[in-house]
Amino acid sequence: AQTVTQSQPEMSVQEAETVTLSCTYDTSESDYYLFWYKQPPSRQMILVIRQEAYKQQNATENRFSVNFQKAAKSFSLKISDSQLGDAAMYFCAYGNDYKLSFGAGTTVTVRA
Amino acid sequence: GAGVSQSPSNKVTEKGKDVELRCDPISGHTALYWYRQSLGQGLEFLIYFQGNSAPDKSGLPSDRFSAERTGGSVSTLTIQRTQQEDSAVYLCASSAAPSGSETQYFGPGTRLLVL
């Protein structure tokens, strides 16, 4: 089974500043997919960004970008210009067949 | 169309009772997944459906847990003789196909509390 590790249980960021969430994973596969999901207090898991392992270019979605280091098996998420609405729990997930393996999550608080 | 829906939103039950949790996937999605999220934890895979069949039930924690899917659409997760350790949020997700490349879309979950 794949292991996904998020080493930061909590992160705090000032509004309009940048925060980076770390994620590492363990796999022997060469082709797989990585995801960041956001879970606000409403419990609804929302896809933030996804990365295909065969692509070298880092994925970007508006204020969200990733730093994908395949050799290091690292997949960090950068949130730029943080907004109050970004406050949530963020989960890193690994998928290569049908099911996703999730990390334990990082709670992000945004200070006004 | 609408997203993934789940019912009930919250369920409180007494230890030993049976509960049924329902999931309505996105229309046309052939793959459906159940996950469990314990308090402050990540998601734990329970079971996956491709159409009406469940090729992978490996995540079900005990034989008290079962799930079915009918008509390639609605799925029901049943927990028999509930225990306090079953208390968690149960999340359902669906995707267009059972592939790691397909994005899984999640419902809002059912929070189960076993007293």
**Beta-strand relationship, B110-114 and B10-13:** parallel
Among B79, B111, B101, smallest CA distance to A100 is for B101
Write down the pLDDT at residue A1: 60
Give rounded-to-5 percent helix, strand, coil for chain B.
5, 50, 50
Cβ–Cβ gap B108/A35 under 8 Å: no
Write down the pLDDT at residue B65: 97
Integer Cα distance of A71 and A27 in angstroms: 11
Percent of chain A at pLDDT > 70 equals 99
The residue-averaged pLDDT of B16-41 equals: 93
Cβ–Cβ gap B42/A37 under 8 Å: no
Mean pLDDT of the residues in chain B: 92
Residue B1 has pLDDT above 60, yes or no: no
The residue-averaged pLDDT of A59-88 equals: 96
Cβ–Cβ gap B45/A99 under 8 Å: yes
Report the residue of chain A nearest B93, measured CA to CA: A45
